[in-house]
Amino acid sequence: MKKMKVLSLVLMALMLIVTACGGNNTGSNNPANENVSANNGAAKNAEAPAEEAKEEAAADLGGRVIRMAAWWDMTPKGETAGEKARLEKIAEIEKKYNVKIEFVNVPFEEYMNKFTTTVLAGEPFADIVQLEYKSAIAPVLKGQLLPLSEFTTADNDINNAQKLTIKLPPLAGGEYGFDTPGLSSVGIHYNRDLFKKLGLPDLQDVYNSGEWTWDKFLEIAKQATRDTDNDGKTDTYGFSGWTGNIVPNFAASNGGKIADDETGKEGLSDPRVIEALEFVNRLYNQENVVFVKGGNKTDYNEFNTYKDGNVAMFIGYEWMLGDQPFEVGVVPMPIGPQGTKDFTYANTALGGKFIPKGIKDPQVVYQIFEEMQDVPPTEEYVGQDYMESKYSTEADIQMIRDNIQGTGMVYVHEGYPDFPIGAVIEDIIVNNVSVSSTVEKYKQQAQASMDKLKP
């Protein structure tokens, strides 16, 4: 009996303990859950100091000014939700790193001289500089720009998802440039109003059918070159533009490169480039489908001839658009005989951000730039507002996103001193010298131009 009483007392005590525990537990009474909860709490308490330490680990730069330079004002104006968010992010970062972020605006004609003189003096005028790729080729080869590997880590977004910052294409065989994600367009733009008037097929239908080649381009250009009022004079033309832009784009769409920055070899003698030169010459001097408004076939001002509205097609960039008196459509450059869809145009205007040699704490400087981009998105896709301000149909923007974006072949021949592309084009298009003779005449000069920048 005594044993039973003792056992009863023990059981009652246990029941009281279990009841007390149950009253304090808002979840299951399973003791295993209590252990998990306790362990989680301990883990959280252990993580908290680590997180705080991580926050405290942000470098204190002692009030230093971090300068970011371009030939335009990059300062967010605070007029849109996105700009306001960006300004808030900048203020947050300035406090976190104890810095002041300053956007430097230097006129384009003064920019490269300022960059070169300050870098050579060991005191770059900005911590992050905007450079065109054709202007960056010389600083890269002279060791004046830092490769990405010297200021990014395995944890940086640029080496992972690239949602905040993206790697730009290699330059001279190395990775140097970076920028924020964006959307741009380089390709054949066409006057939809004129196409309808002349009864020509919409180029997007032609592209989607798989027929968009040099031959098809020429066929349509010939159909658009007409005397529409029967006065004996041609009044609509198939194509127009600046030869200095036309030749590289047709070369790239054929898989050729006028100057190969990776190998350091001239590309004038590349059969793919020769084929492009011959095709452009045919457009001007044999088929006569190009409208030359000012009479000078190689004049840069022919770049804007399309605005008169009597030209069916032109090589366009989205930034050109907005003031033309007709609706514009867009497709990639037509594919050349040796081309592929991987490279559809010559990216001669590519630009991005670089960090000059001589900058103090480049890794922290880059980290600040990357964190500046971490703001809530205000668009369905990057570049939406900009593209919708330039194009009138969703089909155009989708064509750019699906078939043009990311297909540019980096072209930096203009960055080599005295590279003779202008003379080559002049001899072929204006002086009617054969392509083979012209290439033979200038290929050694082209190679010597590139050799000047070799380390």
Same CATH fold assignment for domains 64-183+350-372 and 186-348+392-451: yes
SS3 helix, strand, coil % of the chain, rounded to 5? 45, 15, 40
| DSSP summary character for residue 177 | -
Among the listed residues 134, 114, 120, the one whose alpha carbon sits nearest the alpha carbon of residue 69: 114
Fold of 186-348+392-451: D-Maltodextrin-Binding Protein; domain 2 (3.40.190)
The total of other beta-carbon atoms located within 10 Å of residue 72's CB is 11
CB 187 within 8 A of CB 333: yes
Give residue for tokens 């730009």: 168
The CATH homologous superfamily for domain 64-183+350-372 is Periplasmic binding protein-like II (3.40.190.10)
Mean pLDDT for each consecutive 10-residue tract of the chain (455 residues)? Answer: 34 34 34 31 38 58 97 94 94 98 98 98 98 97 98 98 97 97 96 98 98 98 96 96 98 98 97 98 98 97 96 96 94 98 96 97 98 94 94 97 97 97 98 98 98 92
Question: Dihedral sign, CA of 334, 339, 342, 343?
Answer: negative
Q: Where are the domains of the chain?
A: 64-183+350-372, 186-348+392-451
Q: For 358-409, give the DSSP string.
A: T-SSHHHHHHHHHHHT-----SSSTTHHHHHHH-S-HHHHHHIIIIITT-EE
pLDDT of residue 57: 62
Q: Is 102 helix (H, G, I), strand (E, B) or coil?
A: strand
pLDDT of residue 80: 87
